[in-house]
Every structure is written in C-alpha cells, then in structure tokens.
Amino acid sequence: MVIPSSGHLDVKIKNPTHKPVAMECTFNSFAFDVERAWYIENGKEVEKNFEWSENPDPDYIAKFEELRAKKLLSHELKPGEVFYIRIKNEDNFDGPKIRLLYEKPIEEMTITTHVNVPLVLPNGKTPVQAKFDLKVNYFFSLTGDSEKMKEVNQKHAEYQKKRERLKRLRGIKIESDETPKYMFCDCGEHYEDEAARFVSKRETRNERLLQKYGTKVDQLTEEEIKKIKEEIRKELQSEAERKHEEEERKKQEKEQKLKEEYERKEKMNKKKKKKFVFF
C-alpha cells in the first residue's frame, strides 16, 4: 500500500460473495492516519468512524503510556458492497499520538473478515455453518520521496525522545500523581470514568511541563520537577475553576433571558386579554 507524499490513498474493500461478510479493520501507524471511511447506500455516501481502541483493564489505565495505539472499525459488508478507506499522511504528530506507543514510524493496517459458509453434508444430513476468518495485513510505504521519508523518520525520532522525557516525568510523582485505589477495583462505570479523568489530569500536567520546558527538562532535578508539577497543578486547577465560573455565569445569563422573555410574553398576553374584555 503506497501512500503518495502529497495526497492520499483510497483503499477499496469489496464483498464478492452472495452473503453478508463481517469486517473488522485495525489501523496502526505513526506516519499515516485515516482521513475518512465510507460506503454507498441508496446512491449516497455514509460515513463510518474509526475509534481509538480502549483497554478497560485498570492496570493498563494506570500505565497509560504503555498502551499501543490502534484505531478500530467494524462493518458488515452486504453482497457486492464496496467499503472505502482514505489514508493520508499524518499532519499532527504532537496530538494524541504522543501519549501512545509506536515502535516503528510506518506500520500496518489489518483487515479481518468473518465468513459463514454453509456446508452440505452427505447422506442428507442437516447442513452446518462453517466459519472462516480471513486476515490480511497491509504494510504502508511512501513513494520514492526521500525527503518525505527523511521527515517521517525525523518526526519519529523526536517522538521517541519526547516519550523518554514523559516516561521520566511520570516516574517523578507528586501526591496528585499517585494512582487511587479505586482504579484497581471492579466498581462499575462510575469508577472507570473517574479513572479516565485521573489519567487525563496526570497526563495533562506532564505534557504541559514538557511543552513549557522542552529539552531543558533533561537538566532539571527531581525536586525541581516536583516543584514545577505542583505549580502546574495549581495553575490547571485555577483554569478549571475559572472555566466553571464562566459556564455558571453563562448559564445564569441564559436563565435570566428566558425568565425575562417569559415575563414579557405574560405581560403581552395580559394586555390582549384586557383589550378583548366585553361588558
């Protein structure tokens, strides 16, 4: 699968059989991303979204930096149906990918199809359904653009250095970085949400510190990093409080406007009633 250095590649997946085929697609690449995925229904394009894979195991949530990055999509291909996936060059290497693990700059897309085939047995016995899993790995590559390949390798080298710095920052913990006990219990969706919020706050602190100091992080001592982390924690808390206050203010303004509008309409209705009073 060759992706042009400028532009994109459209992958077409067709079901050539007369029966529906269940398809699962796993996309895993640092250098590339899925721009869109779609199929045609009644002459119109219907969009499908790749979702980041999730691992519900609290132990993996606590060790968020070790999660491998995958995007997943499932779809049932109707007989003769064609499914399209458009792959583009990545343009945001500092986005969500910095939190996830990519061992190589250019990786792969795996397409697995599940096909049920009826088998007619001899001697008039009842036919059975035999399930076949067909799995194909497609490895991405670039066109013969040495400059683009050089850029991708450079971005991946920078990404690996950032991950090493983040790994060091994660290991230097303040009290707010310590993993809560509820993240290691099977306590229902509420605690899974709490665990996700905890990880997000912790990662945001580390990423802001790295963004602010860059390569200078390498010269900071553990005590200096702890002090800066605490400052960032307070800074983020203040930002969250200001955001909450702003949301509350807007909410109150909206409620006040609705109240004023209601009172205005009530006055108008009363005037109309007075106007049409008969004696």
In the prediction, which pLDDT does 56 show? 41
Residue with tokens 């016995």: 125
Q: Which of 145, 161, 180 is the last residue of a domain?
A: 145
Q: Is residue 186 part of a domain?
A: yes
115 and 7 part of one domain: yes
Q: What is the chain's mean pLDDT, rounded? A: 78
Domain-located, residue 230:
yes
Rounded to whole angstroms, how far apart are CA atoms 105 and 116?
Answer: 36
Contact 174, 233 (CB under 8 A): yes
| Domain presence at residue 273 | no
Query: Rounded mean pLDDT of 241-261?
Result: 91
Q: What does pTM read for this prediction?
A: 0.62
Instruction: Assign residue 130 the CATH number of its domain.
Output: 2.60.40
196 has a pLDDT exceeding 80: no
For 211-239, the pLDDT digits (tens) are 899 999 999 999 999 999 999 999 999 99
In a domain, 166, yes or no: no
49: pLDDT confidence band, cut at 50, 70 and 90? confident
Q: Which residues pair with 113 in a beta bridge?
A: 23, 134
Predicted pLDDT at 59 = 45
C-beta separation of 81 from 206 below 8 A: no
Q: Read off the pLDDT of residues 136-179 as tens digits, 9 standing for 90 and up.
A: 666 666 665 677 778 888 888 888 898 889 889 988 998 888 77
Within-domain flag for 38: yes
Average the pLDDT over each of 18-27, 77-86, 113-122, 236-245 and give the range with the smallest value: 113-122
- The residue assigned the tokens 């400052």 is 231
- N-to-C CA span, the chain: 87
Total number of domains constituting the chain: 2
> Are 131 and 198 contained in the same domain?
no
In a domain, 37, yes or no: yes
Domain around 15: 2-145
Token pair recorded at residue 51? 């979702």
Higher pLDDT, 271 or 76: 76
- Do 184 and 74 lie in one domain? The reply is no
